[in-house]
Homo-oligomer: A and B are copies of this chain.
Amino acid sequence: MNERAAPVEPLTLELVGAMHSVATRLEDALDPLGLSLAKFGALSKLVAAGEPLPLSALAERLACVRSNITQLVDRLEADQLVVRVQDPSDRRSVRAELTAQGRALHTEGLRALEAAERDLLDRLSAPQQDDLLRLLRLLRERA
């Protein structure tokens, strides 16, 4: 029994707080490269796809709305990391294509993130790391 007042903070706020802390650490790791998590995420999806992606597809894979991608690609284009290319078969569609520079920076970002990841996860044993990933995926895969 605990005599003190009941916790005012729901469990989920702890979740959000911890995740915010992790995200901040990762942003800091990417910052020296001029990258943000948002930008790296987009580059990452483009590399994974292996080909230019329509902005709608990018929005779907990054779990955000289309208008967000319009602006994100604006900034990526200003950084010369991607270019917009027209789709001749459907003139409504615009695809984002990686530049050589974008591909190279993604590789650097990957290294930086993996270093930050080792720093972060070194606290946890290998089985703990597996557990964490499994639990988070359970939360995510909810309808």
Contact = CB atoms under 8 A, between A and B. Distances in A.
Given A113-B12, A123-B139, A17 B131 contact: no
B17 A23 contact: no
* Copies held by the complex: 2
Given A11-B133, A117-B10, A132-B132, A17 B138 contact: no
A106 to B, nearest CB: 8
Contacts of A13: 41, 44, 113
Nearest to A10: B113
8 contacts: A8-B47, A9-B44, A10-B113, A11-B117, A11-B129, A14-B133, A16-B23, A21-B139
Given A135-B131, A135-B132, A139-B18, A12 B120 contact: yes
A139 B120 contact: yes
